[in-house]
Amino acid sequence: MIKSNFQIIKLNVKKTKNKKGWLIPFHFLNSKNKDNQLPIKVKRIFMIGGVKKGDIRGEHALFKTNQVIVVLKGKVILELDNGKDKKKILLQSPQKAILVKSLIWRTLRILEDDTLILVFCDREHNEKDYIRDYENFVQQVREKIY
């Protein structure tokens, strides 16, 4: 049986709007403001942009890092795989964020040109944390479970 790390947490992000546009604040774990509070202690933030429709990003898993993924502009199909089960999620609004835990294979399929993706991580970048070969990923998951 696969561990609960495949649990997908959807964050329904609140935004405020007025005649000048909208604002979505993200609050960190130690914030007193609980609206849009990220479920991880953020150590790194990065953005993915300059992509074209049909591009694929991700195609890896992480041993220890948990990530919150938000599409700021455009559309993405986020494919998640725990080595046994797979799930596809359409992300097309910054009002929906997904927590992707460690040991989940993630693939982002870009559906629109100029899509912009924001990712919050609970660890600093470390190349040794990445599993870039799918078969190796499946083997790693099985070793952790059995």
Q: Is residue 3 part of a domain?
A: no
Looking at residue 65, which CATH number applies to its domain? 2.60.120.10
Amino acid identity at 139: Q
So what's the pLDDT on residue 27? 86
What are the tokens at 118?
A: 């924001």
Q: In the prediction, which pLDDT does 29 show?
A: 83
pTM of the model: 0.88
* pLDDT score of 102: 93
Position 110 in a domain: yes
Q: What is the pLDDT along the chain (146 residues), one digit of tens a residue?
A: 234 455 666 777 888 899 999 888 888 888 887 778 889 999 999 999 999 999 999 999 999 999 999 999 999 999 999 998 999 999 999 888 999 999 999 999 999 999 999 999 999 999 999 999 999 999 988 877 65
Amino acid occupying residue 28: F
Contacts of 139 by beta carbon, 8 Å cutoff, 6+ apart: none
Evaluate whether residue 111 is within a structural domain: yes
Strands 76-81 and 105-110: antiparallel
- Count of domains forming the chain: 1
pLDDT of 75 reads 98
Asked if residues 88 and 98 have their Cβ atoms less than 8 Å apart, the reply is no
In a domain, 7, yes or no: no
pLDDT on residue 134: 97
Range of the domain at 113: 12-145
Alpha-carbon separation of residue 86 from 14, 78, 110, 124 (angstroms): 28, 10, 18, 27
